[in-house]
Structure 1
Amino acid sequence: MESLESLKIDLKSLDTGALSTSCHLGDEFFEAAESDEIKSGDVMLSISARKSVSGLYEIDFHAEGTVKVPCDLCLDDMDQPICTDNRLLAKLGEEYSDEDDIVTVEKDDAVLDTAWFVYESIALDIPIKHVHAPGKCNPAMIKALEEHSAARSSEEENETAVDPRWSELEKLKSIIKD
């Protein structure tokens, strides 16, 4: 995933103070993520970072705006509002690692690219089910869905009717019992 320069944080510079920045995440950011879930977006992102007394770096994200996601019913793109806050903890170490709840950044480089963490934070704020408001779905797709569901329900009704071969076998079963 490509990163914006404003999403890279030089952790060594936080030794002297805190960092506070904001940026706009547009279509380019979401296209770079190469995800089928989020097509594009218009999100304002605020990042604040500081070094704590314990030596950990605390990075707080606040993202607010809208992203385009496919509707679960008609598959047309729809605007999904998002508003999320998230915190990332980082520390300096020998090699990069994000296996624990704390991201370890190499001491020599000391630059943390937060692009993927920001994307994940936004993606996790999207509800599991996302559909257009009633009446806003693609009418052609809704009609096709209704036709297929009607055909499927008539097939299920036919399947619940007893096959005549089974009724003949039931007669044989009752004769054998007697």
Structure 2
Amino acid sequence: MPSLEKFKIDLKSLPEGETVMERDLGDDFFASIDAPDVRSGQLHSTLTIHRRDNLFELLVDTAGTVTVPCDVCLDDMDQPIETHDRLTAQLGDTGSEDDDVVTVSEEEGILDVAWFVYESIALSIPLRHVHAPGKCNPAMMNVLKEHSAARSGDEDGEKAVDSRWAALKDLKITN
């Protein structure tokens, strides 16, 4: 399994000013990070690091596609992704993660941004992802139609009603 070493940034060795790093993210990245939500994809990430003394502002721009299951037919589909995120880090006595600033031990000086990049990608995936109309798996769409509650109506034009609701119609509450 490929290493995530290229996502470890030696903050102490960075020069003052701006440093730009380019990273390609493929299936090996998602396998290495043991990603729970995304298993594959092809993305390109640009890390722009602005250093001022012991304060570092990281801008992470990532674009490409990830493969996720369609919510309707469950077949894999490509989901376009574009993210723009920011992380602030500083060198300090002890390592810690605050909501605003990540403090990296000055002794070590290494910031691992692999999980930050992954979270940025995972959070940009829409809650609902479906194929374009007509692109879902036809076999699965037929099964869904067959098991749909809409087919429980009569052929003479009566509005279709789920049989579970029809049984409740006979119950009446009286005061």
Query: TM bucket by the smaller chain?
Result: 0.7 to 0.9
* Aligned residue identity for 2:77: M
- TM-score, normalised to structure 2, is 0.83
Deviation at 1:156, TM superposition (A): 2.9
Q: When you count strand as a share of all residues, which structure comes out higher?
A: 2
Q: Runs of 5+ in structure 1 lacking a partner?
A: 174-178
Deviation at 1:15, TM superposition (A): 4.3
> CA distance change for structure 1 residues 41 and 141 in 2, over 3 Å: closer, same or farther?
same
Task: Write the distance in 2 (CA, Å) between the matches of 1:36 and 1:18.
Answer: 33
Task: Write the distance in 1 (CA, Å) between the matches of 2:5 and 2:42.
Answer: 18
The answer on 1:116 being equivalent to 2:124 is: no
Q: Name the counterpart of 2:24.
A: 24
Secondary structure at 1:34 match in 2:
coil
Q: Name the counterpart of 1:13.
A: 13
Task: Write the distance in 1 (CA, Å) between the matches of 2:87 and 2:17.
Answer: 18
Task: Write the distance in 2 (CA, Å) between the matches of 1:155 and 1:34.
Answer: 44
> CA distance change for structure 1 residues 38 and 119 in 2, over 3 Å: closer, same or farther?
same
**The 10-residue stretch of structure 1 (32-41 or 88-97) with the greater mean CA deviation from structure 2:** 32-41
Q: Name the counterpart of 1:161.
A: 169
Contact 1:3–1:115 (8 Å) recurs in 2: no
Secondary structure at 1:135 match in 2:
coil
Q: Percent identity?
A: 48
Over residues 55-93 of structure 1, what are the superposed CA-to-partner deviations in whole Å (9 max), with x where a residue is unaligned?
420111111110101111111111000111111100112
Deviation at 1:158, TM superposition (A): 2.5
Corresponding residue pairs, total: 165
Contact 2:58–2:86 (8 Å) recurs in 1: yes
Contact 1:73–1:137 (8 Å) recurs in 2: yes
- TM-score, normalised to structure 1, is 0.81
Q: Runs of 5+ in structure 2 lacking a partner?
A: 153-160
Moved over 6 A (4+): none
Over residues 144-165 of structure 1, what are the superposed CA-to-partner deviations in whole Å (9 max), with x where a residue is unaligned?
22222227853234223305xx
Contact 1:22–1:44 (8 Å) recurs in 2: yes
Secondary structure at 1:144 match in 2:
helix
Q: When you count helix as a share of all residues, which structure comes out higher?
A: 1
Which of the two has higher C-alpha Rg?
A: 1
Task: Write the distance in 1 (CA, Å) between the matches of 2:84 and 2:15.
Answer: 24
* Aligned residue identity for 1:105: V
Contact 1:3–1:113 (8 Å) recurs in 2: no
Task: Write the distance in 2 (CA, Å) between the matches of 1:7 and 1:125.
Answer: 20
Deviation at 1:9, TM superposition (A): 1.0
The answer on 1:130 being equivalent to 2:129 is: yes
CA RMSD of aligned residues (A): 2.3
